[in-house]
Amino acid sequence: MPALASHRKPRTRVRTTPAVGLTTAALASVTLLSTQSATAAPSEPKPGIEEVQKKVDDLYRQAGTATQHYNKAKTASAEQRSEVDALLEAAAKRADKLNETRRELGSYAAAQYRSGSIAPTATFFLADDPQAYFDQDQLMARMTSRQQKAVADFRTQQKEAAAKRVEATKSLEALTASQESLRTSKQQVQAKLTEARSLLSKLTAEEKARLAELEREKEAEARRKAEELARQQAAAEEKAEEAAKEEAAQEEPGTGTGTGDTGGSGSGSDSGYATKAEKVLAFAAAQIGKPYVWGATGPSSYDCSGLTQAAWKEAGVDLPRTTWDQVEVGTRVATADLRPGDLVFFYDDISHVGIYKGDGMMIHAPKPGANVREESIYYMPIYGSVRPA
């Protein structure tokens, strides 16, 4: 009997072990599925096409801001490089003068050696502190006025050469900082553009078609606002002309000399600006179709402020490089008072600019992937406008 009992126990264990294993596997499978379901549940839904459009527009705007930082750093770097080169050249000239004076003092020492009075001058050249040695009245008394002048020049040139070296070193440090800022801005632009392209590349053909439709709707609304501005400006112009005619009709014959002079002056000023604006717009129109490239100033491609700078240069007006500096040039004007040639700035961070053409329209270099074109000034939120000249 004991033998039979001992024989049955192992068989019982053999039958139960797989059952335990299957149960464990089943539980593990259920747990895994539950975990996967729990993990998959909170995944974010795919953004709507309107959200994608807003995100892409914002990324392009941020890239525009980074572009202006790049332009600013590039301008600072170029200016700093010129300053460093000038300082290094000045330091080299100081060194040449110092060496020339040193040779002159050497000739005095040689002359003293030939005359047998080497000790004082030789001591000067061999001394660790020549300045302290020259402070001795005995030596100064033995020198001629020409020699004393040479020594005084030597001291002055030593100080000036040292000052130039310090100045050049500081300027080099500033240049290094500008170049680092340039690299950082470049990386920021590239990162924003890469992110925007990545978002667009994930769109289906249907989503791309919807995005294009949204763009057309946005452009149509902006153009409608431009047409409304054009009507308002035309009405204001007509009203001003009528008022001028009425004023002229009320004047008595033979009078109005003073008024004529004043009007002539204003008319001359308006005419001068109109002539410049005509050149600006002719240049800008000739660039239509050329690609936007961040950091570009022409002639084959432009960024927004590069185009405005080049256009106004055609009229003899030198504008600074960035939108942030251009907005500070000239006279501020209200949107309702815009005239052809005025600069219109966009967004709260003033990261974009265009050239007003008239009738609510502008010529501008829009964004990466687009070409210089004519567009409504209401396509983007307006910050303000200036008349550069």
User: φ and ψ at 355, to 5 degrees?
Assistant: -105, 120
Checking 293-298 for CB contacts under 8 A at 24+ apart, the result is: 293/368, 294/63, 294/64, 294/67, 294/70, 294/189, 294/193, 294/368, 295/67, 295/70, 295/71, 295/74, 295/186, 295/189, 297/321
> Which of the following is catalytic: 150, 304, 311, 377?
304
Identify the residue whose tokens are 């800008």: 284
Q: How far apart are CA 80 and CA 179, in angstroms?
A: 10
Q: Residue 32 burial (CB < 10 Å; 0-12/13-18/19+)?
A: exposed
- Does the annotation count 364 as an active-site position? yes
Residue type, 20: V
Q: How far apart are CA 387 and CA 330, in angstroms?
A: 5
Closest of 167, 120, 110, 168 to residue 143, by C-alpha: 120
Tokens representing 99 are: 């060496």
> Which of the following is catalytic: 69, 94, 364, 387?
364
- Does the annotation count 304 as an active-site position? yes
Catalytically active residues are 304, 352, 364
